Amino acid sequence: MRALLVLITAGMLVGAAQAEEDIVLGLNQSEVSISTNFNGSEIIIFGAVKRETPIPDGPELEVVVTVSGPSKPLVVRRKEKKFGIWVNVDAVEVDRAPSFYAVATSAPLREVLNRIEDLRYKISVPRAIRSVGAPMNIMNSAAFTEALIRIRRKENQYQLIEDGVTVDQQTLFRANVQLPAALIEGDYNTRIFLTRGGKVISQYETVIDVRKVGLERWLYNLSREQSLIYGLLSLAIAIAAGWAASAAFALLRR
């Protein structure tokens, strides 16, 4: 009974210690508008650590920030060159992959977060992608996920920004995340984690709303709600553009 009481008390003390540091967060913008001339946006995430006791002794406070776009399933295909042409030979379906994902840390990721915590909170880029299984004929299914990450990193859709969070006096923090031009609409979940010694001691979540506006919004709604009219309008614009180009070329030849 005494051992049990000791364990319970120890657990209560750990919980109390973790609750001593909470996050007070701010964003320079909680909404991003996608217009016809949209070429990306920078999100500034800043905040402070609220404490009711002095800064604990031991490992320094580290901060991890993640921004995740809407997730959806997709198929990753592998191509091989056969008889002089590239053909699809294998395919793996990824159950869920964020359209955009950024991780910013106050130090190298392996130093601020251990593998168990990464597995629990799904913070790193590979952990954010959910791929349950693959066909029996696929020998190395992990290579398909790695290929997806590699491609989206080249497109700046997946980002790992180590040392991208500035922490001042273990109390104030600030991170800049660059959103690329190729964004899709939806809620972009933003998570902030405080860690010590690789373990998460506190977390906070908020949402950045990304929406099309103006002509982009009108065309998007038209394509979804009135597909026939959208198709006819696209055809008319293509014909008009072709006629205008032809007329301009004829004038230049005179």
Q: Helix crossing, 227-253 with 214-225: angle to 10°?
A: 120
Q: What is the dihedral of CA 119, 123, 128, 132, to 10 degrees?
A: 0
Distance CA 75, CA 128 (A): 16
Task: Phi first, then psi: give them for residue 202, nearest 5 degrees.
Answer: -160, 155
Distance CA 67, CA 143 (A): 24
pTM of the predicted protein model: 0.73
Q: Where are the domains of the chain?
A: 22-212, 213-254
Could you tell me how far CA 193 lies from the centroid of its own chain?
A: 15
- Checking if the pLDDT of 2 tops 70, the result is no
* Average predicted confidence (pLDDT) for the chain: 79
Q: What type of residue is 74?
A: L
Distance CA 129, CA 146 (A): 10
Compare 135 and 165 and report the one with higher pLDDT.
165
Tens digits of residue pLDDT in 164-182 = 999 999 999 999 999 888 8
Tens digits of residue pLDDT in 44-82 = 999 999 988 888 888 999 999 999 999 988 888 776 666
Distance CA 117, CA 6 (A): 25
pLDDT for 12: 38
Could you tell me how far CA 177 lies from the centroid of its own chain?
A: 10
At 126, list the tokens.
Answer: 């590979």
- Checking if the pLDDT of 153 tops 60, the result is yes
Beta pairing partners, 171: none
**Is residue 110 classed as helix, strand or coil in its secondary structure?**
helix
Percent of the chain residues topping a pLDDT of 90: 41
- Checking if the pLDDT of 191 tops 90, the result is yes
CATH number given to 22-212: 2.60.40.1930
Which of 170, 189, 144 is CA-nearest to residue 21? 170
Buried/exposed 163-172: b ≥16 CB within 10 Å, e otherwise: ebbebeebee
pLDDT for 53: 86
The burial of 217, by beta-carbon neighbours within 10 Å (0-12 exposed, 13-18 middle, 19 or more buried), is given as middle
